[in-house]
Structure formats: structure tokens, C-alpha cells
Structure 1
Amino acid sequence: MKKWLIIFGGLAVVLGIVAFNSKIYYPPLPIDSVSKNEVINTLNKSPKGILEIAEEDEFEWFITRTEQGKERENLKQMISKKGWQFENQDGSGYFFTKGDNRLIVETEMWTKRYLIVQIPKEWKD
């Protein structure tokens, strides 16, 4: 009986370590080109407030920590550096203009600590 408890306990510890390291407890990312583990580790090592994590389909994907509204200011500041003017926010969408062009940036709360940002690739033009 003790032998089975030791085996079961050891297996549970190993599975717990694997689950923690792979970030399996986080929800799935909306993109396939990077893993949850890569995203979290890169963000934790970076001093930047908002970080590009991938280019997939026709979008650039970013992640930022949610810190008392600073994540939204980081987003607006990053986009305004490319000449876009913030117009308004409607739900999870942010609307910017640059001359006659309009940019719609979509955000998604990935977890309570992280915000995923989706920006069309032409925003840097």
C-alpha cells in the first residue's frame, strides 16, 4: 500500500511540475505561432510595457500586463508614435485615424493579468 502511495505521489509531483512549466493552466492563445510558455517568459524578461509576440495572418499580435489602466495607455502611446490619433474606444475595440485612414485595434483579456492586442499590419505604414 505504501509503495502505491509513493508512486502515485511521485507521479503527481512530476505532473504538477510539467503543468506549471508548460503554462497549461492558462487559456489558449488566439494565435498558433507561439506557445503560452514563450509568451509569458518573454514578457517577464522584458522591461517594455507592451511587447510584440507574433505576426500571423494579416495582424501583429502584442501582449501587455494589466496594471491599473496602464496597459491601455501603453497601447495608445505605442500607436500614436506612428502618427495615429486616438478617436474613441468601444468595448474592446480602439479606433484611431491618420488622415483619411482608419485603424481598428482589438483587445482581449487573456487572463486577469494579461491583455492580448491585435493590430492590422498596415498600422506602421
Structure 2
Amino acid sequence: MKTNKILVFSGAAILLAFIICYWVYSNKFYYPTLPFERITKKEAVWKLENGNHELVELEKVNGYYWLGFKGNQQEGRDKINKKMEDQGLNYDSFDGNGIFFEKEDRVIITGTMWTRNYVLYKVPAEVMAAN
């Protein structure tokens, strides 16, 4: 009888641990915090995974668009350069996290590795609206 209680308790504890691990994994709680709050990590990962290695608009917050890219920093920088050239900006240089463009004024776009697989870019909204 005592053995049955131990087995039932152990089984329930293992099942509970499995459920908690699955919940944490499926909601991406182990990912770093996003620099914006309107979408969840799970939604951001879904958009990035389904972006077909293109820039994906994640959010617009406080006068900036947050774009994401699934891939490495070099590939992401190439995509940003192409997108900004399409917006009429001329690539100038990059230094660290900043990518510099020129039009009438200097435009700085910052890129940050969010995880090993995803890069996030902070783009001024007036640049994106200049389409």
C-alpha cells in the first residue's frame, strides 16, 4: 500500500514536471527579454520563423519600427542595407551595433543579436514612412 502511494506520487510529480517544462518551452520563457512589450516572445519567434529569411516587422513603438531577421548579423545587415536603399537611403558604414546611412541627414539603425538565431533592428519610423 505504501509502495503504491509512492508510485502514484512519483508519477504525478514526473507528469507535473513534464507539463511545466513543456509550457516553459512552448512559451519561449527561456529567451531574453524583448526590447518592446506589445508582442510575446512566442509571437516574435513565430513571425521570425515564418519570415523566410527576410526582414520581418515585429512592432512599432515610440517612433521606431522593430524589424527582425532569422540568421546571422552579416546576412541581416545585407537585408537592412537593401531595404534602406529601397527607401532612398545610401549606405555609409557600420560600427559595432550601428549601421549608418545618409540621405538629407544621417540615419542610424541599431542591430542587436536577440538570440543566437535572431537579429533585431531598431529603425526610425520616418525612414520607413519615406517609401
Give the SS at the match of 2:114: strand
Alignment gaps of 5+ in structure 1: none
CA RMSD across the alignment: 1.3
Rg comparison, structure with higher value: 2
Match in the other structure for 1:69 = 74
Over the matched positions of the two proteins, sequence identity in percent amounts to: 24
Alignment gaps of 5+ in structure 2: 1-5
Match in the other structure for 2:127 = 123
Tell me which of 91, 107, 117 is aligned to 1:113: 117
Match in the other structure for 1:101 = 105
Higher strand share: 1
Over 3 Å off, 4+ runs? none
Give the SS at the match of 1:3: helix
Question: In 1, distance between residues paired with 2:72 and 2:35?
Answer: 21
Shift of residue 47, structure 1, vs aligned partner: 2.4
Matched, 1:16 2:21: yes
Match in the other structure for 2:87 = 82
Count of residue pairs the alignment pairs up: 124
When normalised by structure 2's length, the TM-score is 0.89
Match in the other structure for 2:62 = 57
Question: In 1, distance between residues paired with 2:93 and 2:72?
Answer: 21
Partner deviation per Cα, 1:3-61 (whole Å, 9 max, x = no partner): 22101100011001101110011011000011110011122223251100000011000
Shift of residue 74, structure 1, vs aligned partner: 0.7
Question: In 1, distance between residues paired with 2:125 and 2:100?
Answer: 15
Question: In 1, distance between residues paired with 2:28 and 2:113?
Answer: 17
Closer, same or farther in 2 for the Cα pair 1:9/1:111, shift >3 Å? same
Give the SS at the match of 2:45: helix
Tell me which of 23, 35, 41 is aligned to 2:40: 35
When normalised by structure 1's length, the TM-score is 0.93
